[in-house]
Amino acid sequence: MNKTPQPFDCSYTPQFAELLHNLGISLAISTYQAGKVIILSAVDKDKLVQLPRTFDSPMGMATTKDVLAVATKDEVVVLRNSKSSAPTYPPKKNVYDGMYLPRATYYTGVVAMHDMAFMSNNDLVGVNTSFSCLCKIDDNYSFSPFWQPPFIKELAPEDRCHLNGMAVENGEIKYLSALGKTNTIQGWREEKMNGGIVMEYPSGKIIADGLGMPHSPRIYNDELYILNSTQGELLKINRTTGKKEVICQLGGFARGMSRSGDYLFIGVSKLRHNSTAFNDLPIAKKSFSGVIAVYLPYGSIVGSFEYTMSVDEIYDVKVLPQLKRPSLLSPNMEVSKNSIVTPEQSFWKEN
């Protein structure tokens, strides 16, 4: 008897569940296409569980200590993990070892916020793709721009170069990725297959070009890595010469990357919908949607998680360290309003 497909149906290799379990981590996955932030955890070495929570077109995420920030269609939502609230969560007591609760919402407007990160001074910074700039996110303005590529001549909501990725080292910005070196309205689309660039910050010097829709630049072990998305590749870029080295093929449109120890967790997307930006990419016809685990020392794929329903596109992936099974309550969930947390105590208000 055939099983009726269910929302968020998935399949995964045994190694993937075992890896999350052994590392003692969970993953947060943002999918703007499905309108969810999904917490992925391993119950044991054989079984994964997922917890989808509704957000309006979530994209970039940022983590620091017990904080998770999520960029949505026109807001940035900040949540904080209250470990003391987790075991007493009324619907499921003694199930979770963490509980991300809404703490603040910043009303940015529709700016297509992509990568975000917390700086060494605790500022929350985002890549504002619509305005082709970096910006600070706080309660003063929709956003406070503080940097744009040298070739961007004015601040305008025109997505001129599709600035999207940010590599941070020790709480400081080091590199940025964009889909083109263009200063016209969505000018990057004309050369999307090989117009991508990586820039130094703050000089804006281009250290690598000829990339296909690059995303998610990251610095691991003093090395610069990036996802060459249209080719489904994990690349290492020499920070001095700009030379590119293919570490492994990922088999999908790669976007979103996070690290735990020697392992990278990388998002891949189907991109089969009728999008003028993505529907004509060769990789869109053969890719899948999910997360791939890569053992970085050997550049080898050691496990994968694949969606068979509901999720076609993933933007970001974040490791949640030392949390084997956390929960997350989005602001639209009424139960989140029953949580009361002080510096010393936590309570759940009874209805």
Of the candidates 181, 173, 174, 131, the residue with the CA atom closest to the CA atom of residue 151: 181
Q: Is 269 among the domain residues? A: yes
Record the tokens describing residue 223, joined without a space. Answer: 């090395």
Dihedral pair phi/psi, residue 42, rounded to 5°: -105, 120
pLDDT (0 to 100) of residue 1: 46
Q: Is 307 among the domain residues? A: yes
Judge contact between 263 and 294, C-beta under 8 A: yes
Half-sphere exposure of residue 99, counting CA atoms within 13 Å on the CB side? 24
pLDDT (0 to 100) of residue 56: 97
Amino acid at 227: L
Q: Is 349 among the domain residues? A: no
pLDDT (0 to 100) of residue 309: 82
User: What's the CA angle centered on 199, arms 195 and 203, to 5 degrees?
Assistant: 140
- Domain of residue 296, CATH code: 2.120.10.30
Separation between Cα atoms, residue 326 and residue 341, nearest integer Å: 17
Judge contact between 229 and 216, C-beta under 8 A: no
Q: What is the per-residue pLDDT across 187-236, written as a single tens digit (0 to 9) for each?
A: 999 999 999 999 999 999 999 999 999 999 999 999 999 999 999 999 99
Q: How far is CA 58 from the centre of its chain?
A: 9
Q: Is 1 among the domain residues? A: no
Judge contact between 78 and 69, C-beta under 8 A: yes
What letter would DSSP give residue 72?
-
Q: Is 332 among the domain residues? A: yes
Helix (H, G, I), strand (E, B) or coil at 308: coil
User: Could you tell me the CA-to-CA distances from 86 to 279, 336, 347 in Å, in that order?
Assistant: 42, 12, 10
pLDDT (0 to 100) of residue 171: 96
State how many domains the chain has. 1
Judge contact between 272 and 282, C-beta under 8 A: no
Q: How far is CA 6 from the centre of its chain?
A: 25
Separation between Cα atoms, residue 287 and residue 302, nearest integer Å: 18
Q: Is 40 among the domain residues? A: yes
Of the candidates 298, 229, 324, 277, the residue with the CA atom closest to the CA atom of residue 24: 324
What is the residue range of 81's domain?
10-339
> In tens digits, what is the pLDDT along the chain, a chain of 351 residues?
456 778 888 899 999 999 999 999 999 999 999 999 999 999 999 999 999 999 999 999 999 999 999 999 999 999 999 999 999 999 999 999 999 999 999 999 999 999 999 999 999 999 999 999 999 999 999 999 999 999 999 999 999 999 999 999 999 999 999 999 999 999 999 999 999 999 999 999 999 999 999 999 999 999 999 999 999 999 999 999 999 999 999 988 999 999 999 999 999 998 755 566 666 666 656 568 999 999 999 999 999 999 988 899 999 999 999 999 999 999 999 999 999 999 999 999 986
Rg (CA), the chain: 20
Judge contact between 177 and 204, C-beta under 8 A: no
pLDDT (0 to 100) of residue 274: 58
Q: What is the per-residue pLDDT across 89-139, written as a single tens digit (0 to 9) for each?
A: 999 999 999 999 999 999 999 999 999 999 999 999 999 999 999 999 999
Q: Is 4 among the domain residues? A: no
pLDDT (0 to 100) of residue 204: 98
Residue-wise over 145-163: b if at least 16 C-beta within 10 A, else e?
A: eebbbebbeeeeebbbbbb
Of the candidates 118, 134, 160, the residue with the CA atom closest to the CA atom of residue 126: 134
Judge contact between 257 and 317, C-beta under 8 A: yes
Q: Is 55 among the domain residues? A: yes
Q: How far is CA 254 from the centre of its chain?
A: 11
214's enclosing H/E stretch is strand 214-220
